[in-house]
Structure 1
Amino acid sequence: MMTTMYLDQLLDSMKALPAELQRSFRMIRELDEKMAQAKAELERDCAHFKENIASLSVQERETKLRDFRDRFAALKQTSVEKLHIAAQSYEAVEKHIQEVDSDLSAFEAEARQRKRTCVCTRARASVCTVYHSTRACVLSVDLRCRSSLTALTILLWVNCLAAATSEGTPVFHVQEPAGQYDLPVDPNEPTYCICNQVSYGEMIACDSNDKCPLEWFHFACVDLTERPKGKWFCPFCRVPGDFSKRREPFRSTGYEAEVLEVYRAFRERIAFRNRCICLLSPGCGAEHAALGAALPEAFPSPFRGGTTNDDCGSGLLLLCVLAAVVLCTCSAAASAADGATETSNAQRPNIIIVLTDDQDALLNSTMFMPKLKHHVIEQGITFAFGLANSPVCCPSRSSLLSGRYIHNHGAVNNSVAGNCYGEKWIQETEKDALAVHMNKAGYRSLYGGKYLNLYYGPSNPPGWTEWFGLYGNSRYYNYTIKDNDKTVKFGDKYDTDYLTDVLARRAVRFINESAAADEPFFLWLGTPSAHASFTPAPQYENTVTGIKAPRTPNYNKVYADRHRPVRDLSPMTDEQIRQSDEIYRKRLETLRSVDDLVGDIFDTLAATNQLSNTWFFFTGDHGFHLGQFAMGFDKRQLYDTDIRVPYFVRGPGAAANTTRYEPISHVDLAPTVIDIAADSGVPSNWDGRSYKQLLLDPHATWKADNVIQYFGEGKTTESCGANILQYQADNNTCWRVGSYIPAPCDGVNNTYTCIRRVSDDLSTNDIFCTFECFDDARRVVPCPANQAGGYGEYYDLRTDPWQTVNLALNISTAQRRAFIDQINALKHCKGQAECQRTLSWNN
């Protein structure tokens, strides 16, 4: 029977593998075909260039050479993408092979040890213990863990303890080959470097050898153009400022140790924690009585006096192994983090949302966030295509809070005139926002941190039972909080005033109070990180060194086939590049405090036994660029750096360590939360759709299309700045010492509506945008037909992930018409019926 069960489980786990491989092979074939065509065209154009070079002017030659360089870079990027797809396919197959090999080894061990059965007696110390030789330890759990019992666990205990004889001490051994479940990283395609990518181009090894957490580095990632002479140590291992000298061994605390732990754990693919079943003794009378009372009457329990002479042979052996591996996580390490006891299935789940500010998805913003990786990414679902419906704060947050598109919630920018916390929001949208519906569903709730850019009280938004809202835009120090009925001003002392830490302490208090009250809770935190002024906590200042903003294929490039103001820019100066790199490092440092906040939340959830009944959502309000298209820093653009956000979800029933490619957008968050929390369903006048099924069903279908909107501000070209703040050593005083050189970021003609499409098999991955054009007096005028404002922008991100080639003039008239019709419909849709009907769906 156990063999049949195993085969059923094996076949079920491999059911999706052929389709997954077919999808990967199709993508590789399509990339091959496009590369072959692009390569042939490039070779033809190069040959034509050489034949006619004498007749070209110097300017024409330079233009042609730049074009060749960009096209070659695009080919190179496509090759890298093919390698990624191939590596993913190999790992998918290798994972199943490893699992089958492990199970075969277990069956062979069972056959060899068939005479070694589970013999439990009524001796003085009735014990059923699992010895896990892989970790060379004996694991047990006493009845203080009894609230985590499941039917299968109880059945295991009963069968084992009831098979009593009058001889010997009951012992059940499970001997496994050491390390058989440790799944190594595929040796043919490992990842390296601070970018966590595969090997390509020129690379250099850190001379710390096996002491280095990352080992090998791409030249570009560590700012090398040629191999240095003598020894070379990476940013983690070097003495600051001197790559030829190695620093002292890693400290027991600090970011080096965290990075070392995270990367080594990733490389080793540790698949096991300490697992256990139970250690029971007749001496614990009260506990045995409690267990006896908890058992269904049909179970023959030794605690009730009934016994059976059930054979604990190979079937129970496999059952015990299954229970030990799957059902219990009661070791000291697991208990501290994720070992909370199960909550009653009848209790409604808790929901936590952590919303960061300006955090990108494409430029490695989670690089120094090991707690987020451990608690959320490795235990939940990563949505590779999380999208902001508008790449600027107030409109995006308004969609998150209300489940509505811009044209329905009315916040078009960060100004009062643009309805950022304006009259329409206060009188209409906010009264039907997510918090109001969660309140009706009986949830205790708290909002903490940044709300909307122009929120300054005096009232608390409706629906929240507790309010801890920031006045205005993100600040790290010197800010004002509306704390329920009080207005509290904070200063510039780190221990009491650093906003991210203040939010963490407030969240811990709220979780503890909610658990004590035995009430389901809804917690939403808006952190200041990684917004300007990019101010890290003192302990994290200058901890990110030796790295620069990723030099993507579109880094510091200006393209003529773009809308205004992007096409009118000039490449960044050396000083602007230096400042952009500095901002990149400081942003990573501020996010380390967010990582601590995540760790504090999960420690508290575990300590209050709430973890197993809590949904946790982590995302950012929109993305961020750092040098792409020659823009030093900011957001507001239609490109993926600005509209894609980190998006991670963990919760009861959700798959662990899984990536999904369906595109979800911020307008879908509120519908999902209310769908999880209440039986009332998604309000029909909300525009977004619940993706609850994507969290629970690996075969669920989803929409392919998402709408992105932005309304440009200012004149033809506007620049965005950021203050530079400094603090005294005791952190009691801060002062402004200047500003970064303002970076071009916006303009009135930066007004667009886009359809961003991604199919679940990635056979479609593109974006099409139309624009509205204005003259210098901000009057609407026709967009020039011979410019991107007139013919639009279209990018096929399967072959051009960094959007270097505008293909808007290459698509068919029918396809263009379909895009425009859909955009026009979505710009005016309202509610579930209209807004979801206009979308195409993956079936």
Structure 2
Amino acid sequence: MTNVVVFLTDQQRWDTMGLHGNPLELTPNLDRFAAGGTFCEYAFTNQPVCAPTRACLQTGRWPTQTGVYRNEIPLPTDADTIARRFAAGGYETAYVGKWHLAEMDDAPVPPELRGGYEHWFAADAVELMSDAYDAKLYDGDGVLHELPGYRSDAFVDAAIRWLSRPHDRPFLLFVSVIEPHHQNSRDAYPAPDGYRERYENRWVPSDLAALGGSTQQHLGGYWGMVKRVDEGFGRLLDALRSLRLLDDTVVCYTTDHGCHFKTRNGEYKRSAHDASIRIPLAFNGPGFVAGGRRPELVSLLDVAPTLLDAAGLPHDDLPGRSVADAVRGATDWPQEVYVQISESQVGRAIRTRRYTYAVTAPDADGWHDPAASRYVEELLYDNVSDPHQLANLAGLASHRDLADRLRERLLARLAAAGEPTATIDPAPPRPSGQRRSYPL
């Protein structure tokens, strides 16, 4: 039977990867891993904030279906998680690192809120109870452990210690580091000593260069955090190799959402822009070796069925698709990714290969309302002619027919996700000038 390891980072932009064009050589281990396996070039989160995305990853269901549509809502104790599905299939299950699905802040997560994981070395809101050189996690008995070294290194070390134990069953190991998420207590990106200095005043993605935000304050540290995380990922792969587990293990690398550095709203995510929703995603191991650079639109909703498929476990009841289907030649792949947005707004969006179409609910509250009955068009981007999403086309007369077609596709996705019936009002009309639209 195939082992499965998931390596989850936090708030990592898609263009941190060399395979996505980053010239700083931040991710040589991830790039090599993805190039030799299956690299999902167009991968997106379904909810650009921590807890809802993590609920999606653990269950394979929409955040509004699990009830975890925003932060500070615990995952239901009876949730049908991948841990419980793998355990039912004879697997040993373990979780290391950030959980953020129990609303415990700095207290240990009780067993009933651990999603069914058998082995536990984790904490809930890691960003609130630890720091870059003050790493802490709780064991399965609720005992707090202070860990030596830089925080992502300490979490990787803990995962390697668990891998080094004798295992008489195949296993699912979920490793969740907090980096490159900002340190909430001081609104900083604390890279290891010397790493921020290495990357300051160097390459800046075009959206950040155009819009500013907190880029000059934070980007050097952010790049440094990404570099150190990649080094830790390389050590984890080395450990699997030295333990003679690598050839029998499917490894998935991804993140929960991106980071726009206060360019799209007052913080770092919670928007429909690619800086928030486009993410790194790659698989390697049995069934994924030499899978290539995949052109399909893939989302984090597809991760659970992919992992279950890799282990030969049932997954047909889940709304996502196994990426292995694409590797095996499936052509009936969805033509858009559906995104739910909470907290900053009650928002919904679809991302096709060419277009981003997003709506917001003016009469709903992003903290208290999981969905709405009325939305208004907010954003329309042509991601081919405007890859950095600087020109909002919503309301232009030239794009009215296109927006109408995207509206119908978005309403269909709301219905498929089991959301209440809703309407979408057009954006206020604007003259087009010389602009024109292109086919979907």
Q: Does the CA-based 8 Å contact 2:29-2:231 persist in structure 1?
A: yes
Q: Are residues 1:693 and 2:346 paired? A: no
In the aligned structure 2, how far is the partner of 1:527 from the partner of 1:647? 15
Matches within 5 A, 1:184-263: none
Q: Does the CA-based 8 Å contact 1:554-1:802 persist in structure 2?
A: no
Question: Against the structure 1 CA distance between its residues 441 and 811, is the aligned structure 2 distance closer, same or farther, given a 3 Å change threshold?
Answer: farther
Q: Are residues 1:770 and 2:359 paired? A: yes
2:172 equivalent in structure 1: 522
Q: Are residues 1:823 and 2:410 paired? A: yes
Question: Against the structure 1 CA distance between its residues 689 and 551, is the aligned structure 2 distance closer, same or farther, given a 3 Å change threshold?
Answer: closer
1:391 equivalent in structure 2: 48
Q: Are residues 1:410 and 2:44 paired? A: no
2:296 equivalent in structure 1: 662
In the aligned structure 1, how far is the partner of 2:143 from the partner of 2:316? 33
Q: What TM-score, normalized to structure 2?
A: 0.81
Alpha-carbon displacement from aligned partner over 1:742-793 (angstroms, at most 9, x marks no partner): xxxxxxxx331111112xxxxxx2121222004999999xx9x9xxx74442
User: How much has 1:588 moved relative to structure 2?
Assistant: 1.6
Q: From 197, 200, 210, give the equivalent of 1:542.
A: 197
1:706 equivalent in structure 2: 337
User: How much has 1:522 moved relative to structure 2?
Assistant: 1.0
Which structure has more relative contact order (CA 8 Å, sep 6+)? It is: 2
Q: From 402, 408, 433, give the equivalent of 2:81.
A: 433
Q: Are residues 1:503 and 2:155 paired? A: yes
The one-letter amino acid paired with 1:525 is V
Q: Are residues 1:590 and 2:225 paired? A: yes
The one-letter amino acid paired with 2:2 is P
Matches within 5 A, 1:328-407: 348-362=1-15, 367-374=25-32, 376-407=33-64
Q: Does the CA-based 8 Å contact 1:471-1:480 persist in structure 2?
A: no
Specify which structure has the higher proportion of strand: 2
Alpha-carbon displacement from aligned partner over 1:419-454 (angstroms, at most 9, x marks no partner): 2x1xxx3234x3x01111011111112111111162
In the aligned structure 2, how far is the partner of 1:778 from the partner of 1:583? 27
Q: From 625, 628, 637, give the equivalent of 2:271.
A: 637
In the aligned structure 2, how far is the partner of 1:599 from the partner of 1:624? 23
Alpha-carbon displacement from aligned partner over 1:542-589 (angstroms, at most 9, x marks no partner): 332441533438722xxxxxxxxxxxxxxx6xxxx6x52241111121
Specify which structure has the higher proportion of helix: 1
Q: Does the CA-based 8 Å contact 2:288-2:324 persist in structure 1?
A: no
2:96 equivalent in structure 1: 448
Gap regions ≥5 residues in structure 1: 1-347, 557-571, 714-749, 759-764, 832-843
The one-letter amino acid paired with 2:13 is D
Q: Does the CA-based 8 Å contact 1:552-1:802 persist in structure 2?
A: yes
In the aligned structure 2, how far is the partner of 1:627 from the partner of 1:779? 23
Alpha-carbon RMSD across the aligned residues, in angstroms, is 3.0
Q: Does the CA-based 8 Å contact 1:398-1:452 persist in structure 2?
A: no
Question: Against the structure 1 CA distance between its residues 462 and 392, is the aligned structure 2 distance closer, same or farther, given a 3 Å change threshold?
Answer: closer
In the aligned structure 2, how far is the partner of 1:669 from the partner of 1:479? 28
1:840 equivalent in structure 2: none
Question: Against the structure 1 CA distance between its residues 643 and 529, is the aligned structure 2 distance closer, same or farther, given a 3 Å change threshold?
Answer: same
Q: Does the CA-based 8 Å contact 1:536-1:590 persist in structure 2?
A: yes
In the aligned structure 2, how far is the partner of 1:827 from the partner of 1:627? 28
Q: Does the CA-based 8 Å contact 2:6-2:253 persist in structure 1?
A: yes
The one-letter amino acid paired with 2:143 is T
Q: From 140, 146, 160, give the equivalent of 1:490.
A: 146
User: How much has 1:355 moved relative to structure 2?
Assistant: 0.6
Q: Does the CA-based 8 Å contact 2:9-2:255 persist in structure 1?
A: yes
2:244 equivalent in structure 1: 609
Q: Does the CA-based 8 Å contact 1:407-1:828 persist in structure 2?
A: no
Q: Does the CA-based 8 Å contact 1:450-1:470 persist in structure 2?
A: yes
In the aligned structure 2, how far is the partner of 1:373 from the partner of 1:818? 37
In the aligned structure 2, how far is the partner of 1:527 from the partner of 1:779? 29
Identity of aligned residues (%): 24
In the aligned structure 2, how far is the partner of 1:521 from the partner of 1:451? 19
Q: Does the CA-based 8 Å contact 1:443-1:519 persist in structure 2?
A: yes
The one-letter amino acid paired with 1:550 is P
2:389 equivalent in structure 1: 803
SS at match of 1:753: strand
Q: What TM-score, normalized to structure 1?
A: 0.44
Question: Against the structure 1 CA distance between its residues 777 and 697, is the aligned structure 2 distance closer, same or farther, given a 3 Å change threshold?
Answer: closer
SS at match of 1:670: helix
1:674 equivalent in structure 2: 308
Question: Against the structure 1 CA distance between its residues 549 and 512, is the aligned structure 2 distance closer, same or farther, given a 3 Å change threshold?
Answer: same
Q: Does the CA-based 8 Å contact 1:626-1:634 persist in structure 2?
A: yes
SS at match of 1:490: strand
Q: Does the CA-based 8 Å contact 1:444-1:465 persist in structure 2?
A: yes
User: How much has 1:807 moved relative to structure 2?
Assistant: 2.6
User: How much has 1:484 moved relative to structure 2?
Assistant: 1.2
In the aligned structure 2, how far is the partner of 1:778 from the partner of 1:467? 30
1:755 equivalent in structure 2: 350
In the aligned structure 1, how far is the partner of 2:176 from the partner of 2:404? 40
